[in-house]
Homo-oligomer: A and B are copies of this chain.
Amino acid sequence: MRRILIIGGGGMVGQKLAHRLSAHGLDGDRNIEVTLFDMAFPEGGAPAAERITGQLGTPADIDSLVAARYDVIFHLAAVVSGDAEANYQKGWEINGASVLHFTRAVQAEHAASDGAWVPRIVFTSSIAVFGPPFPEKIPDDQPLTPQTSYGAQKACAEFMLNDLGRKGAAEVVVIRLPTIVVRPGKPNLAASSFFSGIIREPLNGQEAVLPVEDDVRHWHASPRAATGFLVHAAGLDMALLGDNRVLTMPGVSCTVAEQIEALRRAAGDRAVALIRRAPDETIRRIVGGWPRDFAPKRALALGFTADRDFDEIVRIYIEDELPDSPP
């Protein structure tokens, strides 16, 4: 039996991953046991063999997770971008120091096992590692020039994880996720939160606030695509990855105006009329420094697949979320 740990298993993507593993297993393998770790878990929530409550900022909590020697570890937990920018210490503690503590603990446990324990680790990074100026489509070898604390933290995490993999202590796959839309539930502290809000709120009959111009172009993936990336990364043939264990995931590049037209096609003018423009200089500045489009050749060649277009992203939200959360 394969034992799987999801760090950040109480979060939106972690919960969806747990649901998916419960429903479909991992790579068709249903002989698995899933453990979730997070600060808190939603009521009800995804099925799991165990839910462990703890803090990434507490080294002992990480140590006991690592000591349990899971076969597969998904590490999805992070302080989100807006929060990390507002709270320098918290961001660097959780997205920086705790990741380093994790990689060092894994290496120590690997050594303690005399090399027998080599977990598969799938870690989520972000396109926030990139900063302007951008080429029209960002290639796989784009230099990392983060413009935010969150981006700098994720850049560090990439180097920490890649070195852990290079040393042979774990099979490491780091995936740079696009912005995940449409997130269910409430807005969060991420500066990107509005990309979900302008679809989600109107579909639920509520007003949404749009803090940026309609011509802002960005890079998106649905929660369903994101869990697909994670599962695919967990089963990836490591021999194909080579020295660079970090992959930019594919996604859908579109403007806010194109997002709004997809909403109109799905839910009509009355939904679109619920979007209220309220420019926010801070968010405009942060988002203005974000990537708009990619040419993620390596990930595509390795079989990672994105949503077809933004209409599909809207449809996935309606299919997966609206039956359970009516307006």
- Hey, which bits of chain A sit against chain B, CB under 8 A? 88-89, 92-93, 96-97, 100-101, 103-104, 107-108, 131, 141-147, 149, 152-153, 155-156, 159-160, 162-163, 166-167, 169, 243-244
A101 to B160, CA, bound (A): 16
A149 to B244, CA, bound (A): 14
- Distance (Å) between the CB of A286 and the closest chain B CB? 13
Q: Which residues of B contact A101 (CB under 8 A)?
A: 97
Judge whether A92 and B96 touch: CB under 8 Å. Answer: no
Judge whether A143 and B142 touch: CB under 8 Å. Answer: yes
- Distance (Å) between the CB of A307 and the closest chain B CB? 28
A92 to B143, CA, bound (A): 23
Residue of B nearest to A142 (CB): B143
Q: Which residues of B contact A149 (CB under 8 A)?
A: 163, 167
> For the complex formed by this chain, how many copies does it contain in all?
2
A141 to B131, CA, bound (A): 12
Q: Which 6 pairs from chain A and chain B are nearest by CB?
A: A152-B163, A143-B143, A156-B156, A152-B159, A155-B159, A156-B159
Residue of B nearest to A146 (CB): B159
A156 to B163, CA, bound (A): 11
A89 to B110, CA, bound (A): 12
Residue of A103, A141, A149 with most chain B CB atoms under a 10 A cut-off: A149
Q: Which residues of B contact A152 (CB under 8 A)?
A: 159-160, 162-163
Residue of B nearest to A163 (CB): B152
A135 to B17, CA, bound (A): 42
Residue of B nearest to A85 (CB): B167
Task: Given A97-B97, A160-B152, verify A92-B103 contact (CB < 8 Å).
Answer: yes
- Distance (Å) between the CB of A322 and the closest chain B CB? 40
- Distance (Å) between the CB of A59 and the closest chain B CB? 11
Q: Which residues of B contact A96 (CB under 8 A)?
A: 100, 160
Q: Which residues of B contact A159 (CB under 8 A)?
A: 144, 146, 152-153, 155-156
Partner of A107, one of B88, B97, B155, B162: B88
A160 to B153, CA, bound (A): 8
Judge whether A108 and B92 touch: CB under 8 Å. Answer: no
Partner of A167, one of B88, B108, B145, B243: B88
Residue of B nearest to A155 (CB): B159
Judge whether B160 and A156 touch: CB under 8 Å. Answer: yes
Partner of A144, one of B92, B107, B143: B143
Residue of A92, A131, A141, A156 with most chain B CB atoms under a 10 A cut-off: A156
Residue of B nearest to A92 (CB): B104
A143 to B145, CA, bound (A): 9
Q: Which residues of B contact A146 (CB under 8 A)?
A: 159, 163
Judge whether B97 and A100 touch: CB under 8 Å. Answer: yes
Q: Which residues of B contact A169 (CB under 8 A)?
A: 88
A-B contact pairs, 22 of them (CB 8 A): A88-B104, A88-B169, A89-B104, A89-B107, A89-B108, A92-B100, A92-B103, A93-B104, A96-B160, A97-B101, A100-B100, A143-B143, A144-B144, A144-B159, A145-B243, A146-B159, A152-B159, A152-B160, A153-B163, A155-B156, A156-B159, A156-B160
Q: Which residues of B contact A160 (CB under 8 A)?
A: 92, 96, 152, 156
